[in-house]
Amino acid sequence: MDKKKTALKFIEFLDSRYADAECSLRHENPFQLLTATILSAQCTDARVNIVTQGLFRKYPTPQHLADADMEELCADIKPTGFFRNKAKSLIGMGRKLISEHGGEVPGTMEELIKIPGVGRKTANVILGNCFGRPAVVVDTHVKRIAFRLGLTKNTDPEKIEQDLIKIIPPERSAEWSHQVILFGRDICTARAPKCVECPINGICPDYAARIKKHLKP
User: Which residues are the active-site residues?
Assistant: 121, 139
Residue 198 contacts residue 189 (beta carbons within 8 Å): no
The full DSSP string for the chain is --HHHHHHHHHHHHHHH-TT----S--SSHHHHHHHHHHTTTS-HHHHHHHHHHHHHHS-SHHHHHT--HHHHHHHHGGGSSHHHHHHHHHHHHHHHHHHHTTS---SHHHHTTSTT--HHHHHHHHHHHS--------HHHHHHHHHTTS----SHHHHHHHHHTTS-GGGHHHHHHHHHHHHHHTS-SSS--TTT-TTGGG-HHHHHHHHTT---
The Cα–Cα gap between 134 and 174 comes to 7
Residue 161: phi and psi, rounded to 5, are: -55, -45
